[in-house]
Structure 1
């Protein structure tokens, strides 16, 4: 009889221990036509993009999370979230998205440790509400290129104080290397502020990286988003400034590389840079500015919206980098089939000011389901 009770307890205990575990996720995917500067898409003989179409994943994910009540308004929290790819293009790895353990308390906020989003990645991006793949310009991926996750991070989020909140994140650099005669320390500091009341909101993100001058990387980043989201109206404006050394803070990928090479040649030919400065461009400071506006309105189950983003010419060591900016337009339509399922379509176009670059275009049509 005792053995029977023991066997039943063995079966019941795991179920009890998992009682507070929640399985959740989002599956995004669709057909896309892309003619963009993606590393997986070809270029023609002139170095301009060649169009291609296929079924792509739009950043699907699956996660497990849970909590334990510790008493006195305190609870332990945890989460493991992973990327999945509905198109089979990649194998997702466990914990590739926000994954953490922490504490949350009534009246004092939330403290987490692990792989964590910076403030812009999980609390902003209202300027870019759509769904698209890494190959696509059907969303404002150039503007949101620094929205990311930080390894080896600790983050505190405040409670809500009459609409005001703040967050602070620190990321340790555990891969320090020798460079320029000293050991680098590319630690990360990130601060986020927000205020929301009666549909109006304002959000601010600041992030700073250490030793960027030794790493030819991004040094500091500011972004502001403000707007109104209520009564079926969606209106958001954004301003962003990024500074770094070399072209570390400039647009990534093939398009960024083409602009960088052309910019250095033009600056040397114009006498703005010496050949020696161009050869050691990682020590020169680069600054970029961008603005964006997104507007939408819900008509029952339909929500059309329009986004416009503009990247101004960058400045390298105080000199204007001519024709290094861009203009982007995104037109999108969302149709809600239910509270958890929607159909989504978008068209995006990026026009680079540099004549060596062709325009980028994307069209997508797909489905989103949350569980």
Structure 2
């Protein structure tokens, strides 16, 4: 091929190359060995009503994503993202964790230098993508080696729109609205299962304070969450990691708690308290939880200690004795490089009602970001 043909070929490819220049491929591959003795989809109670346990190779929420933007001029950009869950342990997940396109935050929107950003698609609530400082670890759904019970409502909303404000001297906020695209007629009235989520934040010189509130409009009076508040505050700078979290969740019946162990514990405590099913249905159930995580970086090593106090729940304002829990997690992160880590943890949960054995998990694995 002569020089003229080469020049023509390069010129023909340049528009396509320029069009693809704003696309970024990114992700995290995370997984490890776990020994779990927990009440989960894999391990349940044996014939002696004792928890089973076993060794597993588990994925720790790996993902791959594609994102990009286009400069529209005058400080305005078009933005987009498609992020997908992947499992490196040979499973394919289920529901929102299934290995298909757009199972994680995926959207199209606009961003402005002075007014923030507006997105629509499948989007995280504020607690899921802007908080969780109390839960810095890596673990599977089967494990109690992280604060999965405390963060059980952190997630994503289908059919959502979200606005994120710019940063005003450390202050910012976000507002999410999830539409109800499956409205039905019940007892002569049309349901309105919309959800609203508000997030507030202040950050300055390592100090932070964040607040999350979410409301589900016509919550099912038998099994649904209605209102959720969470507050997190702390200091993360100069090798010190300190985060404190408090949350209150109110719903109906026992459906407020869709974590297996917590639901089982609350149910047992309610039955032991003498409540009938008729009294449980439609009753307001409220829980309160407090979480603390401390860590300190020594060179490449960062040890963490987390503690969660689940207070006794209340049903229609009446305290349900022995319905709470205590959890602690010990973890160690070793940075092999800026993008690769070795992570190990041990988690322990004690249920006050005594219906379950003490749950335990040990994990050791690798994390790589790209």
Q: TM-score scaled by structure 2?
A: 0.93
Contact 2:291 2:308 in 1 (8 A): yes
5+ long unaligned stretches in structure 2: 93-97
Tell me the residue number matched to 1:86: 88
Question: How far did residue 214 of structure 1 move?
Answer: 3.6
1:299 equivalent to 2:298? Answer yes
Contact 1:180 1:214 in 2 (8 A): no
Quote the Cα distance in structure 1 between the aligned partners of 2:11 and 2:71. Answer: 23
Quote the Cα distance in structure 1 between the aligned partners of 2:75 and 2:232. Answer: 33
Quote the Cα distance in structure 2 between the aligned partners of 1:96 and 1:13. Answer: 31
Tell me the residue number matched to 2:348: 349
- Equivalences for residues 14-29 of structure 1 within 5 A: 14-29=16-31
Contact 1:179 1:214 in 2 (8 A): no
Tell me the residue number matched to 1:328: 327
Quote the Cα distance in structure 2 between the aligned partners of 1:210 and 1:230. Answer: 39
1:367 equivalent to 2:366? Answer yes
- Equivalences for residues 135-150 of structure 1 within 5 A: 135-150=142-157
5+ long unaligned stretches in structure 1: none
SS across alignment from 1:262: helix
Contact 2:165 2:174 in 1 (8 A): yes
Quote the Cα distance in structure 2 between the aligned partners of 1:180 and 1:46. Answer: 45
Tell me the residue number matched to 1:339: 338
Q: 1:47 to 1:348 in 2, by over 3 A?
A: same
Tell me the residue number matched to 2:141: 134
Tell me the residue number matched to 1:234: 241
Quote the Cα distance in structure 2 between the aligned partners of 1:46 and 1:241. Answer: 35
Quote the Cα distance in structure 1 between the aligned partners of 2:218 and 2:7. Answer: 62
Question: How far did residue 354 of structure 1 move?
Answer: 0.9
Q: TM-score scaled by structure 1?
A: 0.93
- Equivalences for residues 114-263 of structure 1 within 5 A: 114-214=121-221, 216-253=223-260, 255-263=261-269
CA deviation map 1:304-323 (0-9, x unaligned): 01000010010011121111
CA deviation map 1:225-262 (0-9, x unaligned): 00001110000111100000111223522x23432442
Question: How far did residue 79 of structure 1 move?
Answer: 0.2
Contact 1:142 1:251 in 2 (8 A): no
Quote the Cα distance in structure 2 between the aligned partners of 1:309 and 1:184. Answer: 36
- Equivalences for residues 266-285 of structure 1 within 5 A: 266-268=272-274, 273=275, 275=276, 278-279=277-278, 281-285=280-284
Question: How far did residue 264 of structure 1 move?
Answer: 3.5
Question: How far did residue 66 of structure 1 move?
Answer: 0.2
State the Cα RMSD in Å: 2.0
1:105 equivalent to 2:104? Answer no
Tell me the residue number matched to 1:61: 63
